[in-house]
């Protein structure tokens, strides 16, 4: 069977992509949880976890290059392997955004005691999962689910999942705009809290970027499936 | 991309006695481009390429229908001079087959047959042909030595030089590198890349990476039929037919 080695390499790469997807999804969920509970320990774990994600990215890239060099894949095999590198690179960036979100948790902990009670109440309502206006947590949840589905959609070439992920991007953009307006209002009321609000806007921005990277994965998946670029 | 069609194959069928080896093949070969033909053993690619200079005429029991137009003239028409055709359409085979004579005489053989006797003219043709085949620098000081003393790779380039000597328009390569080591193969591939500036090239190869490296267009044969034909890039990146994909990715063949 002349393809045994090539098939083994492709299966291993796919398995690693799934593993990396799960790890990065967990990073996003943990970063949001750390933000919600202002849990400094969990935030640190998210940051530390990034070394593992980066190492996995390195392994996938290395295996892809090795497979191209030694097995000389063509056609769909080549697309799957080269796009695995793109997928892994996008996942790695999502992991970085989880780290950025986690780093903000310490800042919030440091700054929040100095701010007015009313400001803190408003902001905490925005990020507290139990509050009525838990926009940030809602956004985190949507993005985590996009990330969760992106890797398997690539591996299984699941056109329906791809469509679902693409649709969720609009929801993420909408949530970002609403959070932006909310923080704008809050910071108008309390000028002391502007830099704090800006940091939370950044958090929302990181989530929005993570969603973009999930969509990138789906676009690359369509290329792997069809062999032509999709401009969506 | 938009060069003219040098060769147009129309509804080509070929039988070896009762066995049909080529089935309803249609194909356009562009001028001054490299066209590679790939496919599993016995798929008809060598038979096909041999039709282009009527090499199959020499085999008993061969029957051919359809037409092959070279510059719009059917090479199977009754009035076609096969010797003149083979001067226009040269061929390089799988195993280097130099004549057991000097390097010089190997190259001069064809031009002499076609009536060139003048020594200066022959010397010029020999030099030009060896330069064209990227062999001149290696043999210019020993043109009188026996061609069989050359290495396999050099012998193959000598055969290419021999085909260039009669100033062909098309060169057919039938597995030209299968008996050569990677260095010699690399030299032949570089040479094909150079030759495409002046000649129309058709190459049959079992080595798919070679087809991908050297050709502009690729045709995939299966069971006597040209199943898919297109730009080499498209065939190797995104073939349309499942059989092509299965073959080039090693799923069968």
- The DSSP call for residue B31 is T
Give the closest-approach CA distance of A10 to chain B in angstroms: 13
B250 close contact with A: CB closer than 8 A: yes
Residue A1 has pLDDT above 50, yes or no: no
Residue B218 has pLDDT above 60, yes or no: yes
**Residue A193 pLDDT class (50, 70, 90 cuts):** confident
pLDDT at A220: 94
Q: What is the mean pLDDT of residues A169-195?
A: 88
At residue B214's C-alpha, the angle toward residues B208 and B220, to 5°, is 45
By CB atoms closer than 10 A (0-12, 13-18, 19+), residue B125 is buried
Query: Between chains, do A76 and B212 touch, taking CB under 8 Å as contact?
Result: no
Residue A44 has pLDDT above 60, yes or no: yes
Q: Is B38 helix (H, G, I), strand (E, B) or coil?
A: strand
Mutate to test the interface with B, among A72, A74, A225 (most CBs of B within 10 A): A74
Query: Between chains, do B237 and A75 touch, taking CB under 8 Å as contact?
Result: yes
Beta strands in B147-212 (DSSP E): 170-174, 200-204
Q: What is the mean pLDDT of residues B149-170?
A: 95
Residue A37 has pLDDT above 90, yes or no: no
pLDDT at B162: 96
Interface TM-score (ipTM) > 0.85: no
Query: Between chains, do B236 and A73 touch, taking CB under 8 Å as contact?
Result: no
Q: What is the mean pLDDT of residues B91-101?
A: 94
> Are residues A131 and A124 in contact, defined by beta-carbon separation less than 8 angstroms?
yes
At residue B187's C-alpha, the angle toward residues B141 and B179, to 5°, is 100
> Are residues A30 and A46 in contact, defined by beta-carbon separation less than 8 angstroms?
yes
By CB atoms closer than 10 A (0-12, 13-18, 19+), residue B252 is exposed
Domains and CATH numbers, chain B: 5-95+169-248 (3.40.50.300)
Residue A197 has pLDDT above 60, yes or no: yes
pLDDT at A41: 96
CA B96 – CA B45 distance, rounded (Å): 19
Please list, in sequence order, all residues whose beta carbon lies within 8 angstroms of the beta carbon of residue A88, skipping any fewer than 6 positions away: A16, A17, A20, A56, A57, A60, A61
Residue B207 has pLDDT above 50, yes or no: yes
| Residue-by-residue DSSP string for chain A | -TTHHHHHHHHHHHHHHHHHHHHHHHHHHHHHHHHHTT-HHHHHHHHHHHHHHHHHHHHHHHHHHHHHHHH---HHHHHHHHHHHHHHHHHHHHHHHHHHHHHHHHHHHHHGGGS-HHHHHHHHHHH-TTSTT-HHHHHHHHHHHHHHHHHHHHHHT-HHHHHHHHHHHHHHHHHHHHHHHHHHHHHHH-GGGHHHHHHHHHHHHHHHHHHHHHHHHHHHHHHHHHSS----
CA B25 to chain centre: 18
> Are residues B37 and B203 in contact, defined by beta-carbon separation less than 8 angstroms?
yes
Give the closest-approach CA distance of A77 to chain B in angstroms: 7
**pLDDT tens digits, B19-67:** 999 999 999 999 999 999 999 999 999 999 999 999 998 899 999 999 9
CA B184 – CA A72 distance, rounded (Å): 21
Query: Between chains, do A3 and B249 touch, taking CB under 8 Å as contact?
Result: yes
CA B188 – CA A132 distance, rounded (Å): 74
Choose between B246 and A227: higher pLDDT: B246
Which residues does residue B91 pair with via DSSP β-bridges, in sequence order?
B172
Which residues does residue B70 pair with via DSSP β-bridges, in sequence order?
B7, B73
Residue B1 has pLDDT above 90, yes or no: no
CA B184 – CA B137 distance, rounded (Å): 15
Which residues does residue B63 pair with via DSSP β-bridges, in sequence order?
B15
Among A23-37, A72-86, A112-126, B16-30, the minimum mean pLDDT is found in A112-126
Give the closest-approach CA distance of B136 to chain A in angstroms: 34
Instruction: Give percent of chain A above pLDDT 70.
Output: 94
Query: Between chains, do A75 and B209 touch, taking CB under 8 Å as contact?
Result: no
- The DSSP call for residue B197 is T
> Are residues B171 and B116 in contact, defined by beta-carbon separation less than 8 angstroms?
no
> Which H/E stretch holds residue B84?
helix B82-88
Q: Is B173 helix (H, G, I), strand (E, B) or coil?
A: strand
Residue A232 has pLDDT above 80, yes or no: no
- Homologous superfamily of A4-226: Phosphate transport system protein phou homolog 2; domain 2 (1.20.58.220)
Residue extents of the structural domains in chain A: 4-226
Number of Cβ pairs < 8 A linking chain A and chain B: 30
**Residue A110 pLDDT class (50, 70, 90 cuts):** confident
pLDDT at A133: 66
At residue B133's C-alpha, the angle toward residues B129 and B137, to 5°, is 90
Among A126-135, B8-17, B162-171, the minimum mean pLDDT is found in A126-135
CA B138 – CA B145 distance, rounded (Å): 12
């Amino acid at each position: 069977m002349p393809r045994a080695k090539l098939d083994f390499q492709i299966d291993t790469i796919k398995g690693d992509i799934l593993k990396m997807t799960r790890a990065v999804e967990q990073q996003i969920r943990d970063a949001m949880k750390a933000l919600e509970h202002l849990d400094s320990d969990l935030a640190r774990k998210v940051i530390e976890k990034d070394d593992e994600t980066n190492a996995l990215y390195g392994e996938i890239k290395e295996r892809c290059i090795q497979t191209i060099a030694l097995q000389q894949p063509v056609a769909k095999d080549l697309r799957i392997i080269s796009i695995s590198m793109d997928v892994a690179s996008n996942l790695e960036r999502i992991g970085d955004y989880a780290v950025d979100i986690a780093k903000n948790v310490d800042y919030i902990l440091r700054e929040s005691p100095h701010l007015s009670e009313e400001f803190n109440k408003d902001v905490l309502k925005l990020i507290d999962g139990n509050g009525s206006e838990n926009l940030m947590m809602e956004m985190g949840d949507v993005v985590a689910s996009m990330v969760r589905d992106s890797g398997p959609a690539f591996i299984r070439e699941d056109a329906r999942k791809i469509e679902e992920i693409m649709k969720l991007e609009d929801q993420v953009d909408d949530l970002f705009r609403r959070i932006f307006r909310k923080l704008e209002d809050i910071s108008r009321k309390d000028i002391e809290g502007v830099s704090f609000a800006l940091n939370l806007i950044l958090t929302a921005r990181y989530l929005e970027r993570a969603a973009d990277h999930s969509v990138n994965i789906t676009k690359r998946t369509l290329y792997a499936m069809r062999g032509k670029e999709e401009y969506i | 991309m938009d060069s003219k069609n040098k060769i147009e194959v129309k509804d080509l069928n070929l039988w070896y006695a009762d066995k049909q080896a080529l089935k309803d093949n249609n194909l356009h070969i562009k001028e001054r481009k490299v066209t590679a033909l790939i496919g599993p053993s016995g798929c008809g690619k060598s038979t096909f390429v041999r039709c282009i200079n009527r090499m199959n005429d020499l085999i008993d029991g061969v029957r051919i229908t359809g037409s092959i137009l070279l510059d719009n003239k059917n090479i199977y028409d009754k009035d076609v001079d096969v010797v003149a055709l083979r001067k226009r359409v040269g061929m390089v085979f799988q195993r280097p087959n130099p004549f057991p004579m000097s390097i010089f005489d190997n190259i001069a053989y064809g031009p002499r047959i076609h009536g060139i006797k003048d020594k200066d003219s022959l010397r010029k043709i020999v030099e030009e042909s060896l330069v064209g085949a990227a062999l001149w620098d290696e043999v210019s000081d020993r043109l009188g030595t026996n061609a069989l003393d050359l290495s396999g790779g050099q012998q193959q380039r000598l055969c290419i030089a021999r085909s260039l000597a009669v100033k062909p328009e098309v060169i057919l390569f039938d597995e030209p590198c299968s008996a050569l080591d990677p260095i010699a193969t690399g030299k032949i591939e570089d040479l094909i890349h150079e030759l495409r500036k002046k000649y129309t090239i058709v190459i049959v190869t079992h080595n798919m990476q070679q087809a991908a490296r050297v050709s502009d267009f690729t045709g995939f044969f299966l069971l006597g039929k040209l199943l898919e034909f297109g730009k080499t890039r498209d065939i190797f990146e995104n073939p349309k037919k499942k059989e092509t994909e299965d073959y080039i990715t090693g799923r069968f063949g």
